Amino acid sequence: MAQLTDRIAVVTGASRGIGRAVALELARRGATVVVNYQSSADAANQVIEAIQSGGAQAMAFQADVSQEEGANNLIKAAVDTYGKIDILVNNAGTTRDNVIMLMGAADFDTVINTNLRSTWLCSKAAVRSMMRKRYGRIVNMTSISGVAGNAGQTNYSASKAGIIGLTKALAREVAARNITVNAVAPGFVLTDLTSSLPEDITKKINENIPLGRWGTVEDVAQATAFLVSDEAAYVTGHVLQVDGGMAM
């Protein structure tokens, strides 16, 4: 199943969790993958080793993608090394949960910058190269919190709803250049991001998932791999919920 042979992919926040699974899946399908991380160099190198032992090419690249310089350097490194960028998965993300009365403005800014600003910055940098090649696939990692809203996550839900608006606007802007822009909206997936949720909240979440289980990182990776494939050539501006039916 090497449908992504000769494709160059950049995955932000690919050292851990969902981004790691996306990087591994794209590589398994034949893509060359640039594995971005912010601080987990060892984890990123393990992803590179796993990809290379499977026979695909990969490189790790440290960059804080919430900063313009970091985002530009990441995309430039991919284009300088491999000559182009076909696929961009804007996955890097974080949370600073609290009820609004107890949430500081700094936690609002951190979440908006890490989740939304990074998506805009990396997309802007990548689209320049994609337009020249008249080919591109962008997938933005949103969340059902951005679709339905989630108490205790005004910052996170705003960032993820913003990503949905960005996805649709950019999809319209670049469609004529054969670039598609879609979003994946996971429900609850067990990663470092969700591992500290209190037991009572976890129990309540489980009761609201029609398929009766949390998602896996592979569930999200498979949906992402579809959206960057040639099979999804006529899909753009779409938000694909991978949530066990939670937000339908």
So which residues are the catalytic ones? Answer: 156
Smaller CB separation from ligand NAP, 211 or 233: 211
Q: Considering only 49-57, 60-68, 126-134, 231-239, which stretch makes contact with ligand NAP by CB under 6 A?
A: 60-68
Residues 24-43 contacting ligand NAP, CB under 6 A: 36-40, 43
- Determine which residue in the list 94, 123, 154, 180 makes contact with ligand NAP, applying CB under 6 A: 94
The one-character DSSP state at 114 is I
3-class DSSP state for residue 38? coil
Q: In whole angstroms, how close is the CB of 184 to ligand NAP at the nearest point?
A: 8
**Using an 8 Å Cβ cutoff, are 135 and 179 in contact?**
yes
Q: Considering only 17-25, 98-106, 121-129, 164-172, which stretch makes contact with ligand NAP by CB under 6 A?
A: 17-25
- Return the beta strands (E) in the chain as ranges: 8-11, 32-37, 58-62, 87-90, 136-141, 179-186, 239-242
Q: Does 19 bind ligand NAP (CB under 6 A)?
A: yes
**Using an 8 Å Cβ cutoff, are 8 and 86 in contact?**
yes
Angle at 48 (CA atoms; ends 18, 34), nearest 5 degrees:
70
Binding site for ligand NAP (CB under 6 A): 12-19, 36-40, 43, 64-66, 91-94, 114-115, 141, 143, 186, 188-189, 191-194
